[in-house]
Chain A
Amino acid sequence: MADFKATYKLKTNPFRLTPATNHDELVWAGFKEVKEKFEKRIERSIRIPNSTLVLNWGEYGSGKTHAARFFNKKDVLRALADKTGKAIPYSTVISLPKGKEPIYSIYISVIDKLNIEELRNTFSDIVGDVNTYIDSIGSNLHIQSVLKAVFNSDIQHLDIKKYLYGNMNATELKSLNAAGILRSLKDDTDYSSILAGLFSCLTYEKQKYSCVILWIDEFEDIAVLNNANIDKTNNFIREILDNVPNNFLLFLNLTQSALISVEDLGQYVYESVKSRIKERISFDLPNPEVFKEYLRELIGLFREGTDDNHYFPFEENVIDKLIQELGNVSLRQFNESLSLLLELSDMDEKCPINTEVFDSYKQEIIWHKD
């Protein structure tokens, strides 16, 4: 691979089979419409107070997870916030938990990502206002005390984290008694109340964070949960939307799939949740023009040096041929084929990749299901 960069004029192989986790590699190419939809949605939540539920639909490998990770990037969110002159959103991506206690798992995923030290620093100048605000939300004194303790620098940040995880024993808990915390957190109501309160505090007056964005990926797995957990998950979503009336944006990623006895996943989502859906964003399978635009931009982002051919090292007719051969497939399948084609060409030192090269690898890079 020593001269990969020089030969192919690419920093690295741009075709990923799974979404990147490394922030620098998380780039957005093409698919302007979808991107704009997300930007608008997030901008709106940055600007206006109302809480919103958005469903994202798409085939396996159509880019839903990628979108979640991309729009979870600080610099992307910062740019959107700057446009409006407001604070940056607080954003988190989690997968729908499949275990026995889905609400506890969601709660833990959020707490895992919560940096209390940093939070206290950020909020140090308005902690008094936040405390007053906490007194105004709900009537549950216990939850109020816990929320205050999160922002209270007098309490060790590791102690409160330990408490939030539910790892404090009775003796340790005594140290928090003075803060009004007299019992442990124990059921789903506690967990969702803490999350709701926390989200409300984070976005207090849109001062430090303009909104909270929560992405629940793989939401289609709700179909494999048992009845009780389908219930719990639906109730959680309803409660959190009810209890965080402002500055909350919830994205649910769903795979476009057929199911045995129902038309689609809609039947697993209760009316109470459905009625709160504000928008449905669809990740359609790319048509040839959309795909080629994506490809030009993607290669551009990875380009080392310059080339007149925007598709280099591929010849354009190779791309056309590939699109024709693959038919209606997801972006992931396109990426998969191009990635293989590039790797194989590199191994055999073939460049540029013309139709002759393509034909010689065709069998290996294109496989049809069924």
Chain B
Amino acid sequence: MREILEYYLNACQQAMIHENELSFEFSDHYLIAFSFDTKVDSDDENFDNEYYSYNTISSLSDVDKLLGQVNQFTSLTIKGYEYLGWREDLTEGKSITNEMYSFVKKVNSFQKGAILNYYTHVNFGDAMCDDAGSYLFHIEIEKHLWWNIEFSRHIVKKNSNTSRVPEFYTIFFRKNQPIKDDKSIPILSTNTKVRRLGYFKILSLFLDENKQIPANSINKRFETFSAKYKGLLKENEFNKGLISETKNGISAKPYIEAATDIELLNKINNIFYVGKSFKVYQSLKHEYSNSSNIFELTTFDKIYFLERILKNDYFYFSNLLELFFVEEKIAYSEIVSLFQNKLIKCLGIYKKQNQYALEGYKSPDYHTDRKVLNNIDTILNRIKKWEKADVYLEHLIMPRLNWMLDFGIITYDSFNNEYSITEVGLKLFKHFCIWDDINTEKIISSNMFLKRFMVHLFDDCYDNENIANSDDIKLILEKAYKYIEDSFKLFETLAPNRVTASQAANYTKYKLYFDDHIKVGYDFILNKLSEKEQDKFIFKYQEQYQDGYIQIKK
């Protein structure tokens, strides 16, 4: 014990005692903290209040003095922190969550199962002080490693891969205000058969030929249509998820259901139509979606389908990605054994942070209500009650694993029967962590983040060129307005001189990225349209529909 404390003392920048905690602070704002019970109770009049409230430990004799008074150590926690009052002036974002995960991986690489718990939270310190608060991560370590010198050396070793926060996030850190999270948990229910995203590309061809399809015949008709792609699926690197021909269309049904859930299809009065967002894909696929094998995703396919899935399935998708991030290599059976608990833990965190919010623990910006908590509880209870979890989990995990393969987020090693995360996957997960850090809590709904960052995120994950946008905002707007004008022809509706805002803005976003190498968010386009100086278009946004329409000024 003494040896370990001595080791930390010599390695750290400073050590101190503060409220029953002995902590060693290292560079980059991280600490190793032991909490303890004292022999003398804090209520006792002999209790040395001053000593425990704050004291520096500078020599081994200070350690010995403390050890003489400590009854027992009760926890070992690795912590990192960021003082939120500094955010306004920072030149680069600091990602506490990414730092936490790099420690989690470090601990895991020493010994699996060594971590009891990890989470982030905000500490406002003394309620009487007007304090901006600190944003911290905590990693609680299993008892049997507390006094293991090898472990101590391992965790103190300098971190090599402190991850940089991309520049486009800086402004959001500086604002130090959460991005609105509507806190409804995006979940897709899937069938294990829905494994190839390429079938959605085929669906788009199918919809070119069939503008409206009655609900009672769509499954069968899509099956028949897909039959000719059977050979291509076989040749593709990933070949699971075949739609085979059946009497009643049962083989295509899971795909049609998934397509409806990610809003590629829209059903009105028992007739299927192309969904609002899929129309944008339809209009661009001839330019950007050609691959030698239809089941291979092009860059455009990836950005489009990834956004659809992240929007509608962030809960499962991000939790699965987290497993890959932490484990790096993992077998299917292991995912099955870990996943249910992973989800329960995540929902526990959601619950906790929203309970705090309800109690006014956080600043008033963190709006929440009972409905959010009830919704979390409903899902939590449902997941806890999964019977035959392994059967259920196959339907949940298999499709997502395969989508991740399609996206190049993970790879599969059939020899060792293991999945491993790729560079793309590592980067993608880092972005999710940064989102949490902007809001200083685990985000629930990804929608508003995707609206701002999807193109930037995608470019960072997939394309290392890191094209910088031109500083000439006028030029960007000129191009953007040109694309919006084009969209009036492409997305013509029954009403004259009108285009649906989401279609125009998404079309513009993709065109700017793929044709002009300009990265802008969906929200950027809508914000520019809303500005008073903008006099080309009339833009009306209707909050209740999360959409609006644009007209050309006459």
Residues of A at the B interface (CB closer than 8 Å) are 55, 57, 59, 227, 230-231, 254, 256-269, 271, 274, 277, 280, 282, 284-285, 287, 327-328, 370
A259 touches B491 (CB 8 A): no
C-alpha spacing A340/B256, complex, angstroms? 54
Chain B residues with CB below 8 A from A287, complex form? 553-554
Contact yes or no, A262 B276, CB < 8 A:
yes
Q: List 15 A-B contacts (CB under 8 A).
A: A55-B495, A230-B268, A231-B269, A258-B501, A258-B548, A259-B547, A263-B276, A264-B493, A264-B495, A265-B495, A266-B495, A280-B496, A282-B495, A284-B551, A287-B553
Chain B residues close to A by CB (< 8 Å): 212, 263, 266, 268-270, 273, 275-276, 279, 491, 493-498, 500-501, 503, 532, 538-543, 545-549, 551, 553-554
Q: Contact between B542 and A262 (Cβ–Cβ < 8 Å)?
A: no
**Residues in chain A near residue B269, CB distance under 8 A:** 227, 230-231, 268
The reply to whether A55 and B554 contact each other, CB–CB distance below 8 Å, is no
Residues of A contacting B263 in the complex (Cβ-Cβ under 8 angstroms)? 261
A284 and B497 contact, CB distance less than 8 A: yes
Q: Which residues of B contact A269 (CB under 8 A)?
A: 494
Instruction: With both chains docked as a complex, state the minimum distance between the C-beta of A324 and any C-beta of chain B, in angstroms.
Output: 9
- Within the complex, the shortest CB–CB distance from A55 to chain B, in Å, comes to 7
- Chain B residues whose CB sits within 8 angstroms of the CB of A254 once the complex forms: 495
Chain B interface SS verdict (over half) = mixed
CB <8 Å contact, A268 and B268: yes
| Whole-angstrom CA separation of A230 from B543 in the bound complex | 25
Q: Which residue of B lies closest to A230 (CB)?
A: B269
B276, A261: Cβ atoms closer than 8 Å: yes
B91 to chain A, nearest CB (A): 33
CB distance from B539 to the nearest CB of A (A): 8
Contacts of B546 in A (CB 8 A): 260
A-B pairs with beta carbons under 8 A, tally: 87
B273 proximity list for chain A (CB < 8 A): 262, 267
Q: Identify which of B275, B276, B539, B545 contacts A257 (C-beta below 8 A).
A: B545
| Chain B hits for A263, CB < 8 A | 276, 279, 491, 493, 500, 503
Which has the most chain A C-beta neighbours within 10 Å: B269, B279, B532, B547? B269
- Say whether A257 contacts B551, CB under 8 Å: no
How many angstroms between the C-alpha atoms of A282 and B212 in the bound complex?
A: 27
B495 adjacent to A280 (CB under 8 Å): yes
| Docked complex Cα distance between A260 and B495 (Å) | 17
Is B276 a contact partner of A282 (Cβ separation < 8 A)? no
Assembled-state Cα–Cα distance A84/B279 (Å): 46
Bound-state CA distance A268–B540 (Å) is 21
List the B residue with the shortest CB-CB distance to A223.
B268
Return A362 CB to nearest CB of chain B, in Å.
17
Known: A258-B548, A263-B276, A328-B540. A57 touches B266 (CB 8 A): no
Please give the distance in Å from A193's CB to the nearest CB on chain B.
Answer: 24
Contacts of B503 in A (CB 8 A): 263
Residues of B within 8 A of A370 (CB): 543
Q: How far is the CA of A264 from the CA of B545 in the complex (A)?
A: 11
- Distance in Å: Cβ of B73 to nearest Cβ of chain A: 54
Report B-chain residues with C-beta under 8 Å of the C-beta of A256.
495, 498, 540, 549
Q: How far is the CA of A277 from the CA of B493 in the complex (A)?
A: 13
Contact between B495 and A258, CB atoms less than 8 A apart: no
* Alpha-carbon separation in the docked complex, A202 to B230 (Å): 62
Pick the contact of B532 from A57, A259, A264, A327 — CB < 8 Å? Answer: A327
Chain B residues near A282 (CB-CB < 8 A) = 495-497
**B494 surroundings in chain A (CB, below 8 A):** 55, 264-266, 269, 274, 277, 280
Contacts of B495 in A (CB 8 A): 55, 57, 254, 256, 264-266, 280, 282
Q: What is the minimal beta-carbon distance from A63 to any residue of chain B, in angstroms?
A: 16
The CA-CA distance from A118 to B554 in the complex, in Å, is 46
Q: B270 touching A285 by the CB < 8 A rule?
A: no
Q: How far is the CB of B256 from chain A (nearest CB, A)?
A: 16
Contacts of A258 in B (CB 8 A): 500-501, 540-542, 545, 547-549
Contacting residues, chain A, for B496 (C-beta < 8 A): 57, 280, 282
Contacts of B500 in A (CB 8 A): 258, 263-264
State the CA gap A277–B268 with chains docked (Å): 21
In the complex, chain A residues whose CB is within 8 Å of the CB of B540:
59, 256, 258, 328
Given A280-B495, A284-B554, A370-B543, A261 contacting B266 (CB threshold 8 A): yes
For the complex, give the distance between the alpha carbons of A69 and B535 in Å: 33
**What separation, in Å, do the CA atoms of A370 and B503 have in the docked complex?**
22
Residues of A within 8 A of B268 (CB): 227, 230, 262, 267-268
B residues within 8 A CB of A274?
Answer: 494
Contacts of B551 in A (CB 8 A): 284-285
Q: How far is the CA of A144 from the CA of B97 in the complex (A)?
A: 79
Whether the pair B538, A328 counts as a contact (CB closer than 8 A) is yes
Query: Which residue of chain B has its CB nearest to the CB of A255?
Result: B495
CB-nearest residue of chain A to B494: A266
Distance of A323 from chain B, by nearest CB (Å): 12
Given pairs A227-B270, A263-B276, A268-B269, 6 additional interface contacts (CB within 8 A): A59-B540, A256-B540, A258-B548, A263-B500, A264-B498, A266-B494
Smallest CB gap from A274: residue in B: B494
Does the CB pair A260–B498 fall under 8 Å?
no
Give the docked Cα–Cα distance between A265 and B500 (Å).
11
Residues of B within 8 A of A261 (CB): 263, 266, 275-276
Cα separation A284 to B539 with both chains bound (whole Å): 12
Q: Which of chain A's residues have a CB closer than 8 A to the CB of B498? A: 57, 256, 264
CB A26 to nearest CB in B, in angstroms, measures 26
What CA separation (Å) do A342 and B538 show in the bound complex?
28
- Whole-angstrom distance between the Cβ of A41 and the nearest chain B Cβ: 14
- Give the docked Cα–Cα distance between A266 and B540 (Å): 18
Taking CB as reference atom, which chain A residue is nearest B277?
A: A261
Q: Chain B's nearest CB lies how many Å from the CB of A257? A: 7
B547 pairs with A260, CB closer than 8 A: yes
In the complex, what's the smallest C-beta–C-beta distance from B269 to chain A, in angstroms?
4
How far does the Cβ of A283 sit from chain B's closest Cβ, in whole Å? 10
Residues A259 and B545 in contact, CB atoms below 8 Å apart:
yes
Tell whether A257 pairs with B542 under 8 Å between CB atoms, given A262-B268, A267-B273.
Answer: yes
Q: Give the distance in Å from the alpha carbon of A256 to the alpha carbon of B496 in the complex.
A: 10
Chain A residues near B266 (CB, 8 Å)? Answer: 261-262, 267
Residues of A near B553 (CB, < 8 A) are 287
Q: How far is the CB of B487 from chain A (nearest CB, A)?
A: 11
In the complex, residue of chain B having the shortest beta-carbon distance to the beta carbon of A260: B545
Could you tell me the distance between the alpha carbons of A327 and B494 in the complex, rounded to whole angstroms? 26
Q: How far apart sit A140 and B545, CA to CA, in the bound complex (Å)?
A: 47
Give Cα A59 to B496, complex, Å: 12
Q: A271 to chain B: which residues have CB within 8 Å?
A: 212
Closest to A234 in B: B269
The residues of A that contact B275 with a CB separation of less than 8 Å are: 261
**Bound CA–CA A266/B275 (angstroms):** 13
Q: How far is the CA of A370 from the CA of B263 in the complex (A)?
A: 27
Assembled-state Cα–Cα distance A285/B554 (Å): 10
- Give Cα A230–Cα B269 distance, bound, in whole angstroms: 8
Contacts of A227 in B (CB 8 A): 268-270
Closest 7 CB pairs of A and B: A266-B494, A258-B547, A264-B493, A263-B500, A227-B269, A258-B545, A57-B495
Q: How long is the Cα–Cα vector from A55 to B212 in the complex, in angstroms?
A: 22
Bound complex: CA of A254 vs CA of B275, how far in Å?
22
- Once bound together, how far apart are the Cα atoms of A358 and B269, in whole Å? 51
Q: How far is the CB of A369 from chain B (nearest CB, A)?
A: 8
Of the candidates B532, B539, B545, the one having the most CB atoms from chain A within 10 angstroms of its own CB is B545
Q: Closest CB-CB distance, B184 to chain A, in whole Å?
A: 14
Max chain B C-beta neighbours (<10 A), residue from A254, A271, A328: A328
* A274 vs chain B, min Cβ distance (A): 7
